[in-house]
Amino acid sequence: MPDAAQNKEDEGDNLRSLFLTILWALFIAFFLRVFIFQPFTIPSESMEPNLIRGDYIITSKYSVGYGRYAADPLPFPVKNGRFLEREPKRGDVIVFKPIDETQHFIKRLVGVPGDRIQLIDGILYINDTPSPQLSTDIAGPRDARNYGAAVKVETIAGRNGHLIFDEVVNRPSDNTGIYVVPGGHYFMLGDNRDNSGDSRFDQPRGIGFVPAENIVGKAEFILLSARDEFSIIRPWTWNNVRGDRFFKGIR
């Protein structure tokens, strides 16, 4: 009988230990997702040629601070701005939620509060200064749907250049009025300039200005990329993984 009682006690200790281990694992996973990193999947072509449909990206939250969607779908207790706020820089690729949207978006931040933003003949002007664009022979990713778009290297605020697609010359969206970015907001553009609903347009066609508290994180790198349907638990889909996009930094 004492042996049976001891066995029951041991089983109880093992169950408690397992339960605590699971709780700790869930807490650590929640902590990392809320405060450190969060993964996202690219669903569209608006950021081609740098990000393509099927890219799995990792965003950092600590690099920009924690807004209302930091713990999404749980609300984070901030109303304005971001907790431990760090200002994102022009040229950063940012994940955010537009006003009254349920889905996450990803665009390139080109305007900070107080900036004057305008496009003239497809050239981005920031505070009346053009952002240089150079034609390049660099091809976009093999699976990018560029529809014959020209590939150019654009330089924003003196940072390292990034690629953009320019599909149609002198499209109406290539020539805009002047947008003055209000306080506590940012101006976002897609790198696929002729196929992006961004801050050039009001909702529902675009997203308008993006409030600071709606920023989720800064896109840091591509973890992996896959064509069509892919799942880590379905080995027969593994051949859809693109072998040239593992751990690829985002510029």
* Residues 199 and 111 sit within 8 Å (Cβ to Cβ): yes
Radius of gyration of the chain (CA): 22
Beta pairing class for 105-111 and 116-120: unpaired
Q: Which residues pair with residue 226 across a beta bridge?
A: 241
DSSP tag of 146: -
Interatomic CA distance for residues 111 and 113, integer angstroms: 7
The token pair at 188 is 């976002």
Could you give the residue numbers annotated as active site? 46, 107
Interatomic CA distance for residues 54 and 149, integer angstroms: 20
